[in-house]
Amino acid sequence: MDENATPTPTDFVRQIVADDTKSGKWDGRVVTRFPPEPNGYLHIGHAKSICLNFGIAREFGGTCHLRFDDTNPTKEEDEYVLAIQRDVRWLGFDWGEHLYYASDYFDQLHAWAIQLIQAGKAYVDEQTSAEIRASRGKLASRGVESPHRDRPIAENLDLFARMTAGEFEEGTAVLRARIDMEAPNQHLRDPVMYRILKASHHRTGAKWCVYPMYDWAHGQSDSIEKITHSICTLEFREHRPLYDWYLDTLGVYHPQQIEFARLNVSFTVMSKRRLLNLVEEDLVRGWNDPRMPTISGMRRRGYTAEAIRHFAAIIGVDTTESTVDVALLEHCVREDLNKRSPRFMGVLRPLRVVIENYPEGRTEEVDAVNNPEDPAAGSRKVPFGRVLYIERDDFMEDPPKQFFRLAPGREVRLRYAYFVTCTNVVKDPATGEIVELRCTYDPATKGGDSPDGRKPKATLHWVSAEHAVPAEVRLYDHLFTREDPDEVAEGQGWRANLNPRSLETLTGCRLEPALGDLPVESRVQFERLGYFCVDPDSKPGAPVFNRTLTLKDEWARLQKKGKTA
């Protein structure tokens, strides 16, 4: 997509950055970061954050770091690290040499922890996690101080050293910041800084027995990297006082945390926990299932990076929790695909048509425009013959008034070819099913125009039976049947709203020859049907297509409204 078509967004985060740049608050530097935890694949919500962080860096001449927030070895895997990098790159962003891991900072973090202990600002607590949770107090009440809170500094130092050395079992001790058990903000009630985890870390292996908690790791990582604007989602707003406390207490470089509303999209779920659940329970075919709101899923589905970036630009950035209509995302994809997709003809549910007055054994080629939106795309030849396939939906034996397509005795245009008139309907005598149409064609209409000015009300797509490529086509619908998957009956979970018809696999489709050998991920339009792309499951001579999205369909709209009497 033309970069000019996407206006540079203006939002409150960019406003802050612009103001800071102007005032010289950070010496004119702009450094942001995208800090995913490698415990799942990136989704469209992350895309919003990626576009925000990398976008701001690009617009203000700054840099954006990719930092893996890998502080929990029990949930994180290298597979995710690789997938995340691939997805960010595919989206069109580049972190240059600024690839970091929170685990790179474990030594520094540990040294800082000792510094806090020495300052009397942290202590080792040997209460159980249940005791700690209970003593932290309810939402409306205050917390109670740990019996270990006032233990001597030397003892804390010793205990923490032994925790680090692996002398204690998991769950037997933690290091806590010594702040205020009566703070109205729960996060300030002596938060845990380190817990004992005897798990192998994807990068540091068995080096550590203690791992930093998110709050302890995140702000300090920002500080080490000299981040200027640490942009995160709304749920971390109440963590900000803690973010600030750690940095201030340590007396180190202190970035500004800014929170924005995470993206929700209708008819899907966005939490990594739920997406992981769908994958693990085989409710979808993996993280990159085309029905998933993951970046890799959308990519496999045929969405373009440009469309996703444009979507991110127009939804804006705000502090109000909201759910964006999936139709807006789909609009962005259609808009982009309309401009760039070469057109072809493909028949999903074939109905055989014999042109009775067309000579047996004859074949000719007709000229077809590749993309009416792009004259530079040129044209191609499409073979035509006596036996064709058309879409079953394009014929009705007894059509309602609003049906413009083929019917007995009616003339329609075959796109780029000829006008044909249906003369007979052949049915299976046993089932009554229509198995073939007999038609005649008007040789004077070659190319699709009649010298006498006749204008059929419909133009149909078709393929020559002799030349057609057989294919599998996968049709997708929304993953959930409700705008809000959480809207469920008593006692039911979000999965009750999974759409049982989110995937429909069609075999025996017939495509024009040019579609037989396209590279994986090629994106095309099947005329009158929608946008499709080549799935990696394709084999030579046996392509598999995913339907990215349908075209808008006036006839389908009328049917849906029941106005087709």
Partner RNA sequence: UGCCCCCUCGUUCAAUGGCAGGACCCCGGACUUUGGAUCCGGGUAUGGUGGUUCGAAUCCACCGGGGGCAACCA
The one catalytic residue among 262, 285, 339, 446: 262
The one catalytic residue among 67, 178, 203, 272: 272
* 487: contact with RNA by CB under 7 A: no
The answer to whether 33 is a known catalytic residue is no
The one catalytic residue among 25, 29, 37, 482: 37
Q: What CA dihedral angle connects 187, 193, 199 and 205, to 10 degrees?
A: 130
Q: Which residues pair with 420 in a beta bridge?
A: 412, 441
H or E stretch covering 17: helix 12-23
In the list 114, 276, 314, 503, the residue contacting RNA (rule: CB under 7 A) is 314
Contact pattern from residue 326 through residue 365 relative to RNA, giving x for each residue in contact according to CB under 7 A and a dash for the rest: -xx-xx--xx--x----x----------------------
The answer to whether 136 is a known catalytic residue is no
AA identity, residue 522: S
Counted residue by residue, the chain has a size of: 565
AA identity, residue 108: Q
AA identity, residue 28: G
In the list 8, 118, 200, 322, the residue contacting RNA (rule: CB under 7 A) is 322
* 376: contact with RNA by CB under 7 A: no
Q: In whole angstroms, give the CA distance from residue 483 to residue 473.
A: 26
In the list 79, 318, 428, 521, the residue contacting RNA (rule: CB under 7 A) is 318
In the list 33, 43, 136, 229, the residue contacting RNA (rule: CB under 7 A) is 136
Which region, judged by CB under 7 A, interacts with RNA, from 49-57, 126-134, 507-515, 534-542? 126-134
* 162: contact with RNA by CB under 7 A: no
* 6: contact with RNA by CB under 7 A: no
* 75: contact with RNA by CB under 7 A: yes
* 512: contact with RNA by CB under 7 A: no
Q: Using DSSP bridges, classify how beta strands 350-355 and 434-442 pair: parallel, antiparallel or unpaired.
A: parallel
Q: What CA dihedral angle connects 269, 274, 280 and 283, to 10 degrees?
A: -30
Cα 477 versus chain centre, distance? 15
Which region, judged by CB under 7 A, interacts with RNA, from 90-98, 123-131, 296-304, 540-548? 123-131
Q: 27-56: which residues touch RNA (CB under 7 A)?
A: 35, 37
Which of 303, 374, 371 shows the shortest CA–CA distance to 332?
303
Burial letters 115-145, b for 16+ CB under 10 A, else e: ebbeeebbbbbbbeeeebeebbbeeeeebee
The answer to whether 547 is a known catalytic residue is no
* 181: contact with RNA by CB under 7 A: no
Cα 247 versus chain centre, distance? 34
- Residue bearing tokens 């959480």: 486
Q: In whole angstroms, give the CA distance from residue 166 to residue 117.
A: 19
* 15: contact with RNA by CB under 7 A: yes
**Shortest Å distance, C-beta 424 to RNA:** 21
Burial letters 251-281, b for 16+ CB under 10 A, else e: eeebbbbbbbbbbbbbbbbbebebbeebbee
Q: 380-409: which residues touch RNA (CB under 7 A)?
A: 402-405
Residue with Cβ nearer RNA (230 or 289): 230
Q: 195-224: which residues touch RNA (CB under 7 A)?
A: 195-197, 211-215, 217-218
* 172: contact with RNA by CB under 7 A: yes
Backbone φ and ψ for 162, nearest 5 degrees, come out as: -75, -35
Q: Which residues pair with 201 in a beta bridge?
A: 205
Which of 111, 109, 110, 146 shows the shortest CA–CA distance to 126?
146
* 253: contact with RNA by CB under 7 A: no
* 455: contact with RNA by CB under 7 A: yes
Residue with Cβ nearer RNA (136 or 299): 136
In the list 320, 431, 505, 507, the residue contacting RNA (rule: CB under 7 A) is 320
Listed in sequence order, the DSSP H helices in 126-271 are 129-135, 153-164, 214-224, 240-250
Residue with Cβ nearer RNA (33 or 289): 33
Q: 407-426: which residues touch RNA (CB under 7 A)?
A: 413, 415-416
**Shortest Å distance, C-beta 140 to RNA:** 4
User: Quick check: 544 and 535 in contact, CB under 8 A?
Assistant: yes
Residue with Cβ nearer RNA (372 or 541): 372
* 22: contact with RNA by CB under 7 A: no
Q: Which residues are catalytic?
A: 37, 262, 272
